[in-house]
Amino acid sequence: MFKRAAAVVLTAAALLLVSGALAPSTPFGEYPAKPRDPLAASIDRAQQRLARLPGDWVTWASLGVSYVEQARVTGNPTLYQRAEAALTRSQQLRANADALSGLGSLANSRHDFADAARLAREALALNPHSATAYGVLADALTQLGEADAATDAVQRMLDLDPGLPALSRAAYDLEQHGRAAEARGLWTRALRDANGANASFVHGQLGDLAWHENDLVTARAEYLRAGSQLGLARVDVAQGHTSRALATYASLSATHPTPSLLAEFAMLLPPAQAAEQLAIADATLALLAANGGADDLAAAEVAIARGDYLAAVRLCEAEWQRRKHTDVADLLGWSLHLAGRDSEALVFAQRATANGIRHRGYLAHLHAIQEAQP
């Protein structure tokens, strides 16, 4: 496992030295979510073309992928149905890897990671040289906790197209194997060729690495370069600038009310105001479910913010049956601790940190759970 991770970092570093401009977009952060108008324009152009050429399977696939990206940028799950319709239409007109990859990306967005992996493999059967399909597969396998297979998929993506989408996955893979220093090296090299939204994204990732290592000065500087309001709000909380952090959280929750963000915000608020944010989180989760998605981990975060620890345990246990990602292990351990089941909690907290991951939340939870042992 660790040899594979090392191979990824060496390959990515070498490829960065010879590659040109980095490609936009990535699955791992909020930072590139700025180019909304170009995305809307792309959707408009595709719709106009399809009005003239309804049999254009390539444009149907492109439109579907754009809807998936627009849903990610805006946090609007109602776009999932539009994405599915466009991608399915493309596939009906002609079986193609682009549509299958798009459907796989949609499945990842809906947190149906097993189906995403299946669709990515179907896409690769049609086009074994699709870097996009390998990216979808890597995302799905990572979330399912299949670390070695995910590393292999990332390596294949790097071999085929060593742009920022592949690099972001390589760096995350290294972090998952406890290799934060190598991940930082990749991001630092990436800055040589990055500009605009790509540079903002890279600075955001460097901010996350510093945040998890408790280097708040560096984290703030990188988040400022990235324009990451959420990162800055977290640093403000850690440094005691609570009023400023609350104002930032309020602004973010009004424009991008994801359940996890709302739960995080609610933990900082008095009970009555927290209840308002958690009610919005419930509505957001219901909207996600109505559009074919599910996020039991976010639902567990909401339950914890509400103080319903038994519900959080049930949700995390159900999620753990579906996938063995470190995020699930961490939150299950924390939920068990809050529910008073510290011996069981320790098993999962240790599982979350077993690969040497330097994650601020994981380590804080592990420490608290260790302190609670009899």
Distance CA 184, CA 171 (A): 8
pLDDT at 208: 98
Which uninterrupted H or E stretch holds 51?
helix 36-52
Q: Tell which residue, 127, 150, 101, 143, has the closest CA to residue 1.
A: 150
Distance CA 281, CA 296 (A): 12
Reported as a single tens digit per residue, the pLDDT across 22-73 is: 333 333 334 344 444 789 999 999 999 999 999 999 999 999 999 999 999 8
Q: Tell which residue, 311, 293, 324, 348, has the closest CA to residue 108.
A: 293
- Residue 340: CB atoms within 10 A of its CB come to 11
Q: Tell which residue, 142, 112, 187, has the closest CA to residue 27.
A: 142
Q: What is the dihedral of CA 123, 125, 126, 127, to 10 degrees?
A: 80
Phi-psi region of 196 (alpha: psi -120 to 50; beta: other; left: phi over 0): left
The CATH architecture annotation of domain 1-212 reads: Alpha Horseshoe (1.25)
pLDDT at 189: 86
- More confident position, 14 or 146: 146
- More confident position, 10 or 247: 247
Q: Tell which residue, 363, 370, 318, 316, has the closest CA to residue 343.
A: 370
- Residue 58: CB atoms within 10 A of its CB come to 16
Cβ contact 200:56 at 8 Å: no
1-212 against 295-374: fold identical: yes
Structure token pair of residue 340: 């008073």
- What is the fold, at CATH topology level, of the domain defined by 295-374? 1.25.40
Give residue for tokens 């040497």.
356
CA torsion sign for 89, 90, 95, 96 is negative
pLDDT at 197: 86
With 90 as the cut, is the pLDDT of residue 303 above it?
yes
pLDDT at 153: 99
The DSSP letter of residue 96 is: -
Distance CA 149, CA 137 (A): 9
- Residue 196: CB atoms within 10 A of its CB come to 11
Overall average pLDDT of the 120-132 stretch: 99
Structure token pair of residue 157: 């993506």
pLDDT > 70 in the chain, percent: 90
Q: How many residues make up the chain in this entry?
A: 374
With 70 as the cut, is the pLDDT of residue 129 above it?
yes
pLDDT at 183: 97
Distance CA 340, CA 373 (A): 10
Domain ranges of the chain: 1-212, 295-374
Residue 192: C-alpha distances to residues 71, 86, 184, 305 (Å)? 30, 37, 13, 41
State the average pLDDT for the chain. 91
Kindly tell me the burial class for residue 233, based on how many C-beta atoms sit within 10 Å of its own C-beta (0-12, 13-18, 19 or more).
buried
